[in-house]
Amino acid sequence: MLTILNRHDRNQPFPDVDQALDEPNGLLAVGGCLSPRRLENAYRRGIFPWYGEGEPILWWSPDPRLVLAPDHIRISRSLRKSLRRGDFAFSFNRCFEPVLEACAEPRAYATGTWIVPEVRRAYLDFHRLGFAHSFESWQGDRLVGGLYGVAIGRVFFGESMFHRVSDASKAAFAYAVHCLKSWGFVLIDCQVYTDHLASLGAREIPRSEFIRLLDQYCGQPPSPEAWRCAAEFP
């Protein structure tokens, strides 16, 4: 039975993730709000919001969970050549809101978007508080790709990515992993399986193992260099 969250109680605990439904996989709770406190509580427990326009807030913790260890990223030969040619320039947190807006644009293969106005406002607030971050790829002055996610301790929770030219999102992802690794991050949450993320080296692990890793690493601070400067790339 799904837990109904109180919209006005930002401190209300989430149910144990073991109570999530098998079908649809990982659905755990309904309702509540997207306050920074509730979002932080959710991510620390391996839970994330995902819902569409006109729906209540839905909270998920799927099993298995798709994750990437920064050391295990796979970069294709063609992308490696593109990076060596300098086809892209990179940045982080340079333009979080434009990245968020680009990720919210409807995709050719889907109708609508889960990044509804309420979600955009929530993650902008989360960014201002230092939890949500973006990575960007550029060609000249044009933003051509990027991704955003949430950082807690030494874990980065990826949320969404976009591209406007070929390989731009993969390049931004490679840059993000490079930065996160240099800052001492040990785990990147990719949420659920996609062929695209699997091709980059992500793998599925049991939810119980994922929660154990969160318990271990969310309380550990990353390098003091995190979100200040990054090692040379590529």
Instruction: Residue 48: give its domain's CATH number.
Output: 3.30.70.3550
166 and 132 share one domain: yes
pLDDT given at position 39: 97
Number of domains in the chain: 2
Task: With respect to residue 108, please indicate whether it lies within any of the assigned structural domains.
Answer: yes
5-25: buried (b, 16+ CB within 10 Å) or exposed (e) per residue? beeeebebebbebeebeeeee
Asked if residue 223 is part of any domain, the answer here is no
> Is 232 contained in some domain?
no
User: 83 and 148: one domain?
Assistant: yes
Distance spanning both ends of the chain, measured CA to CA: 48
**Token pair listed for 178:** 């490079």
Structure confidence at residue 200 as a pLDDT band (50, 70, 90)? very high
Extended beta strands in the chain, E state: 3-5, 27-31, 48-49, 58-60, 65-68, 89-92, 132-139, 142-152, 155-163, 187-191, 203-205
Between 1 and 82, name the one with better pLDDT.
82
**What pLDDT was estimated at residue 109?**
54
Q: What is the pLDDT of residue 113?
A: 77
Please state the rounded mean pLDDT for residues 103-120. 80
* 108 pLDDT more than 70: no
From residue 134, give the alpha-carbon distance in Å to each of 63, 92, 146, 182, 219. 26, 6, 7, 16, 21
Same domain, 85 and 35: no
User: Is 36 within 8 Å of 129 (Cβ atoms)?
Assistant: yes
Three-state secondary structure call for residue 198:
helix
Averaged pLDDT of the chain: 95
Q: Decide if pLDDT at 135 tops 80.
A: yes
- Residue 209 pLDDT level (bands cut at 50, 70, 90): very high
Q: Specify whether 35 is located in the same domain as 75.
A: no
Residue type, 52: G
Q: State whether 170 and 141 are in the same domain.
A: yes
- Is there a domain that residue 165 lies in? yes
Which pLDDT belongs to residue 111? 55
Residue 225 within any structural domain of the chain:
no
pLDDT (average), residues 57-64 = 98
The torsion angles phi and psi of 158, rounded to 5 degrees, stand at: -70, 140
* 3-state helix, strand and coil shares in percent for the chain, rounded to the nearest 5: 30, 25, 45
One domain, residues 55 and 74: no
Tell me which residue of 201, 200, 177, 202 sits closest to 192, measured CA to CA: 202
Q: Is the pTM of this model over 0.85?
A: yes
Same-domain check for residues 123 and 53: no
The rounded percent of the chain whose pLDDT value lies above 90 is: 91
- We report the CATH number of the domain holding residue 101 as 3.40.630.70
Residue 54 lies in a domain: yes
Same domain for 112 and 49? no
Q: Average pLDDT, stretch 198-212?
A: 97
The verdict on residue 136 lying in a domain is yes
Q: Find the helix or strand (DSSP H, E) in which 169 lies.
A: helix 168-182
pLDDT of residue 193: 94
DSSP assignment of 18-50: GGS-TTTTTEEEEE----HHHHHHHHHTT-EE-
Statement to judge: residues 54 and 85 lie in one domain: no
pLDDT, tens digit (0-9, with 9 covering 90-100), for 13-22: 999 999 999 9
Q: Which domain holds residue 11?
A: 3-62
